[in-house]
Amino acid sequence: MIKTDFHLHTTLSNDAPGTMDDMVRQAIALGLDTIAITDHADFNPLDPTAGYYVADKAWQQTLDARRRFGDQITIRHGVELGEPHLFPDDVRPIMNYPLDIVIGSVHFMHRYGVHSNLFDVYSPAEGIEMFFDFTLDMAAHANIDVLAHLDYFDRYTTQRNYPPYRPDDFKKQIQTILQTIIDRKIALEVNLSGFRSQADRSFPHPQVLQWYRQMGGRLLSISSDAHQPDQMGKNFDRAEKMLLDLDFTEYHTFENRIPQPRPLSIL
Ligand SMILES: [Zn+2]
Ligand SMILES: [Zn+2]
């Protein structure tokens, strides 16, 4: 049973209504033993969340929560960086804080937001190819511990009534990304927010997880990516079973940016 969640947002992210208090109390109620708060730090000027993140506020919030709840749950300090490879000057001061986990995400590709206008401008095939190119660049160059929600664009294509994408159509691009994170010892995130979307699957697709396993990938982070308390604790049992079926035996939490294995089990 998975008793951790390493991708959570609070009101320090502009799109999350859950306060630190709400999120930590819910984690304790769910019986979790360790969580990481990973608020958004985005830098693309077109991204409405750009400039919202204040590193010192995030760190003080973590310290405060540790003081109040530290006897009931372990709270790790993290951040979700948007396209960090493109904004080194903005990222540098954030990295001075004692981070336990740094998640790398592609939310915006220059003028195109995956969650906003990308699929208004481009066909799914074009937009997805662009997304994977962009993701490869981040995976190859960014200083991150976890690659977030690979292939989450299906949340937005299915909203537009396009059929779900088929990983096989992008096999070469996806496998190049997987090889890059394996070589760089970056963990692949199993992001369960996909079950909250019409895509109704983990991000990434199970096929991608199977390729990762076959290619020798073992580092996995499992998370809800919850933006409010009622999004926490859902589908972890489903994900655990899926990963066991794919022959994974462990997943990872992070402390001081070092992955720590935990067993997967159906018990
Ligand atoms: Zn994200
Ligand atoms: Zn997130």
For residues 66 and 141, give the distance between their C-alpha atoms in angstroms, rounded to a whole number.
Answer: 33
Cα 267 to ligand 1 centre (Å): 30
Cα 121 to ligand 2 centre (Å): 24
Cα 220 to ligand 2 centre (Å): 16
Q: Is the pLDDT of residue 50 over 70?
A: yes
Cα 9 to ligand 2 centre (Å): 6
Cα 250 to ligand 1 centre (Å): 23
Residues paired with 78 in a beta bridge: 38, 101
**Each residue's pLDDT tens digit, 72-100:** 999 999 999 999 999 999 999 999 999 99
Ligand having the closest approach to the CA of 104: 1
CATH number corresponding to 4-263 = 3.20.20.140
- Give the 3-state secondary structure percentages of the chain, helix then strand then coil, rounded to 5: 40, 20, 40
Per-residue pLDDT band at 229 (split at 50, 70, 90): very high
**Each residue's pLDDT tens digit, 52-75:** 999 999 999 999 999 999 999 999
What pLDDT score does 65 carry?
98
Rounded to the nearest integer, the mean pLDDT of the chain is 97
Ligand having the closest approach to the CA of 79: 2
**Each residue's pLDDT tens digit, 141-191:** 999 999 999 999 999 999 999 999 999 999 999 999 999 999 999 999 999
For residues 74 and 6, give the distance between their C-alpha atoms in angstroms, rounded to a whole number.
Answer: 11
Cα 80 to ligand 2 centre (Å): 6
Cα 168 to ligand 1 centre (Å): 24
What pLDDT score does 267 carry?
65
Ligand having the closest approach to the CA of 10: 2
Q: What is the pTM of this model?
A: 0.98
Cα 152 to ligand 2 centre (Å): 11
Q: How many helices (H) and strands (E) does the chain have?
A: 9, 11
Ligand having the closest approach to the CA of 16: 2
Ligand having the closest approach to the CA of 107: 1
- Give the domain ranges of the chain: 4-263
Cα 227 to ligand 2 centre (Å): 8
Contact 224, 230 (CB under 8 A): no
**Each residue's pLDDT tens digit, 200-222:** 999 999 999 999 999 999 999 99
Burial 171-203 (b: 16+ CB within 10 A, else e): eebbbebbbbbbeeebbbbbbbbbbbeebebbb
Cα 260 to ligand 1 centre (Å): 22
Cα 70 to ligand 2 centre (Å): 23
